[in-house]
Amino acid sequence: MKNALLLLSCFITVQLIAQRQFDQAKVREQISHKETKAILFTLASDEMKGRDTKSGGYYKAADFVANYFEQHNIQPFYPAYRDSLVTDSLVSYNVVGSIGKYVPGKKTILIGAHLDHIGIQENEGDNLYNGANDNATGSTAVIQIAAFLAKHQWEQNILVALFADEEKGLKGAYHLAERLKEEKVNLAYMVNFEMLGITLTTGANQVYMTGFKLSNMEKEMNHISNDFVRFLPQAKELNLFKRSDNYAFYKAFKVPAQTLSTFDFQNYDFYHKAGDEAEKMEVENMNQIIGTAAYTFAEMLRKDTAVKMYPAAVE
């Protein structure tokens, strides 16, 4: 009887663990190509007027994200998901959601991307800057990953944020980072997505990471998804670590806060040009990356991976 009980309890334990392991193929199936394309093309459409507060398009894009969050069981972290700020006399807001109920003090992971772009410029010809690669692609990734994570229960707090006014000097991210710090959010690490629309020169289903050697984040991600995260020499030379929203969180919390991207300076000629449009995006590769990232996060969360700065790391 005792042996039978022991066997039974072993069996139950194994079942529980087995249930919680993620299957990469199954996760990737849930991140559909059709939806990746639909979100990307919506955010980069002319109707969104380059997602700037001056053009007014930013508010439409933010509403789209808030509605999507609401429909996909992502809770508002602030009322109406809004963390408001004023930049150049215009009100804007980060859209911030929580996967499950936020518990104060508990270990917190933040996933983000900037939603804004540079709107309508005063030049001849096409003057609407749709910002498909920069950063409708990263925003799409965060939205889809959030919806996937919201289907499960997690031991950690998970926050998802779409930042305002990155193009005006990382303003939205700085605002949120300082606010989370004041509110004593126990941030363990942050992952930011920027420009995922064109295949990295080294190969498909790969991203590079900024601040590659600052923490063990790359090693932990590659341990789960082999060869997914690469080192890009230019990212170090140009110190891209400091040039996107991740940096605001590193500065405030001194925890790993890094960006994943595929824009490698060789693969795309339309950075901050009017021609940065949805039709040019390689949606299949982008969809694979989003699926791989979702799986990687799910496994990091399941195993409660410790992501740490290396002691000798200097920014």
Which spans of this chain sit near Zn ion (rule: CB under 5 A)?
A: 134-135, 194
Least Å from the CB of residue 182 to Zn ion: 26
- If DSSP states are collapsed to H, E and C, what string results for the chain? CHHHHHHHHHHHHHHHHHHHCCCHHHHHHHCCHHHHHHHHHHHCCHHHHHHCCCCCHHHHHHHHHHHHHHHCCEEECCHHHEEEEEECCEEEEEEEEEECCCCCCCCEEEEEEECCCCCECCCCCCCECCCHHHHHHHHHHHHHHHHHHCCCCCCCEEEEEEECCHHHCCHHHHHHHHHHHHCCCCEEEEEEEECCCCCCCCCCCCEEECCCCCECHHHHHHHHCCCCEECCHHHHHCCHHHCCCHHHHHHHHCCCEEEEECCCCCCCCCCCCCCCCHHHCCHHHHHHHHHHHHHHHHHHHHCCCCCCECCCCCC
Contact 139, 69 (CB under 8 A): no
Least Å from the CB of residue 179 to Zn ion: 21
Least Å from the CB of residue 114 to Zn ion: 6
Nearer to Zn ion, 135 or 296 (CB): 135
Least Å from the CB of residue 138 to Zn ion: 7
Least Å from the CB of residue 201 to Zn ion: 19
Nearer to Zn ion, 97 or 197 (CB): 197
Least Å from the CB of residue 144 to Zn ion: 18
Token pair listed for 43? 């955010």
Nearer to Zn ion, 134 or 276 (CB): 134
Least Å from the CB of residue 275 to Zn ion: 16
